[in-house]
Amino acid sequence: MASKKAILNKIQIVLTNHFETPEDAFNFFDKSGDGKLSKSEIVALLKDAEINGFIRGLVSSKLIDGYDKDGDDKIDWKEFKKAISEIAKDVK
């Protein structure tokens, strides 16, 4: 199983190499256009980061559990920004 640091690094690479800003990434993966990332939208981001299927499910659940402060089982822009900021710190 991939280490936490390896997973975070893959996420960071997708966000920085494919998008101008974190907000561009958020908007790209927000396929429903509701201003929030659902578990399936987070899984799509993780798939682009080349994280394997089993791990994608675990990581998406952990992201929602850790950053969904309003309890709607989705990550809004503010929550996403916080997650990305912490990912950037953890990767260094």
Length of the chain: 92
The domain spans of the chain are 4-91
Instruction: Specify the CATH number for 4-91; select among 3.40.50.300, 3.30.2020.30, 3.40.50.720, 1.10.238.10.
Output: 1.10.238.10
Exposure on the CB side of residue 32, measured as CA atoms within 13 A: 13
38-92 pLDDT, tens digit each: 999 999 999 999 999 889 999 999 999 999 999 999 999 999 999 888 887 776 6
Q: Specify the pLDDT at position 1.
A: 55
